[in-house]
Chain A
Amino acid sequence: MPGVSLGCGALLRCVMTTLSNRGLHRFAVFTASCTLLLLVAGALVTSNDAGLSVPDWPLSYGSLTPPMVGGIFYEHSHRLVATFVGLLSIVLAGWLWRREPRRWVRRVGLAALGAVIAQGVLGGLTVLLYLPVPISVAHASLAQIFFSTVVSLALFTSRWWQSDLPQVEDVGTPRIRSLAVWMVAAILLQLILGAAFRHRGFGIVPHLVGAALVATLVFWTAGVLRRRFSEVPELVCCTRVLHMLIGVQLLLGGAALWSRLATREFPQPMPVMVWLTVAHTVVGALALAGAVLVTLVCFRVLRQAPQVELAASHPNMNQQGAL
């Protein structure tokens, strides 16, 4: 009988762990979705030039319920959504810390929490220091990095990531992993340049040059994925996602620039400019998160040739446990 109870206990623990992991993954997805909403709220603040409509911080007009008129509506809504996402991040980090067996995933959870705290402080500084360009750009860029981090956590906690996946060798040159990492770096740089343009730190030219660089790297990466790994469904999906995101983003970028030029003589931000700019900013965040996911998928399912040799000589190093 002790054997039976031990078996039931193990089964119960297994079921609980599975349910907990499923819940954790869903919670990470929910946090990522709310973060996307937060990005929309933040982009609305900048596009409506409402960043300083609330002169104080952390309270708004000395209270939690200021009059929701004009720019105050955008700024205070942004603060409310940010507070909610901050709370979600605390729960996510705590949940990971208690339930997640992989130490590196727990650390990513803590990093996300640190990022959201830093993001809150940067947001406060933008108000108290009257939108200095370096801090405003840092605030805008860290938002995108935080979003990608939470999306990555959703991937790490997914059943797919934790399942046994066949490893595919990447024998080509350049290595797809390196290419993907460069693509992520280029997109991040491009997002920083875009934020600098929106906050009047730079003109449009660096952002346009960045767009050409990003498009080149994304199409190159997608092309390599299609040529080398057409039999790997995950990577085929990645190729489609990359093409779609960058295509939509290029169109939105052109439209946002057109709307900005076309409405520059108007006495107030016009809705067409506001919404195209918001869409461009948010799809930019999605492009970064998408590129990060593609990179992580590449690291997850691809194995480089030297590692194969190493694994062949040391079979213990080929375990899946560290995933």
Chain B
Amino acid sequence: MKARYALYVVIAAALALSLVSCGKKETTETAPAAPAAPAATPIDMATVGSVTGTVKLDGPAPKPKKINMAAEPACAAEHAASPAVDQEVVAGEGGALANVIVYVKEGLGNRTFDAPKSPVAVDQKGCMYTPHVIALMAGQTLSVTNSDKTTHNIHPVPKNNREWNKSQPPGAAAIEETFAREEVSIPVKCNVHPWMKSYFAVFKHPYFQVSGASGSFDLKNLPPGTYTLEAWHEKFGTATQTVTIGAKESKTVSFVFKAAAGD
């Protein structure tokens, strides 16, 4: 009888352990062991070129949806003058599309790059993320601040990086984190305020930019070569183009997303 009970206990413990380890595998793996960073590949600055361009939306942009912040008076007060709207599609004059990450997807070979020492900043203001889309290099510090009079939690949900979830009361010190691996893009949310959404994109090279209100981007200091450029938008997905740059050459590339593609 005792032996049977012992067996039950062992089975229960094994099940509990397997459950826990199963969960850990998915979500709480510790930060990947940082391999010794190889020395950055030297770039001949005398020959570098650039790619500039714009991202546009073809067709009428969907009407922004109003956000109801009534559940959080501190947030609602920040938007008393004009109601907050979602930032999923921010289109300007002539269909200029903001918040699109344009980056080099292929063509850099085995080159390696040092992460910048300066942090990338994101603020929580008016219960919105500012900026809405953030791009940074693997290993570069991300600094998250809270300018609101309410508590937020910052919760990136990556597939290829360590997941974390940290709370930040009003006036708290900046949260500083890094991401170890390349990933486009990591959804970020505040579970306290479910309308707060953002995206972090992590690259192992410095050739990326998030389009601004004019929809423009500028990828500087690219070594001569043939590259696949990709533009990523949270609603409209991705678009790619191939471009070849000679020494000291500048090229212009335009990306156009179909408005209907997001429906």
Could you tell me which A residues sit within 8 Å of B by CB distance?
48-56, 61, 67, 69-73, 75, 125, 128-135, 138, 265-269
Q: Are B194 and A125 in contact (CB under 8 A)?
A: no
Q: Is the interface of B mostly helix, strand, loop or mixed?
A: loop
Taking A69-B71, A129-B23 as given, write out 18 further A-B residue pairs in contact, using a Cβ cutoff of 8 Å, ordered by the A residue number.
A52-B153, A52-B165, A52-B191, A53-B191, A55-B153, A61-B151, A67-B151, A67-B169, A70-B192, A70-B193, A128-B28, A129-B20, A129-B28, A130-B165, A131-B27, A133-B26, A134-B19, A135-B22
- B155 lies within 8 A of chain A by Cβ: yes
Q: Are B191 and A51 in contact (CB under 8 A)?
A: yes
Q: Are A267 and B23 in contact (CB under 8 A)?
A: no
A222 to B53, CA, bound (A): 68
Q: Are B191 and A132 in contact (CB under 8 A)?
A: no
A138 to B65, CA, bound (A): 35
In the assembled complex, which residues on chain B have CB atoms less than 8 Å from the CB atom of A70? 71-72, 150, 192-194
In the assembled complex, which residues on chain B have CB atoms less than 8 Å from the CB atom of A52? 153, 155, 165, 191
Number of chain B residues close to chain A: CB under 8 A? 34
Q: How far is the CB of A77 from chain B (nearest CB, A)?
A: 13
In the assembled complex, which residues on chain A have CB atoms less than 8 Å from the CB atom of B150? 67, 69-70
In the assembled complex, which residues on chain A have CB atoms less than 8 Å from the CB atom of B189? 49
Q: Are A268 and B28 in contact (CB under 8 A)?
A: no
In the assembled complex, which residues on chain A have CB atoms less than 8 Å from the CB atom of B151? 61, 67, 69, 72
A70 to B150, CA, bound (A): 10
Q: Are B192 and A72 in contact (CB under 8 A)?
A: yes
A243 to B114, CA, bound (A): 67
Q: Are B167 and A61 in contact (CB under 8 A)?
A: yes
- B241 lies within 8 A of chain A by Cβ: no
A48 to B195, CA, bound (A): 10
- B79 lies within 8 A of chain A by Cβ: no
Given A130-B27, A130-B165, A267-B65, A71 contacting B20 (CB threshold 8 A): no
Q: How far is the CB of A65 from chain B (nearest CB, A)?
A: 13
8 nearest interchain CB pairs? A132-B23, A267-B86, A53-B191, A70-B192, A129-B23, A268-B195, A130-B27, A267-B195
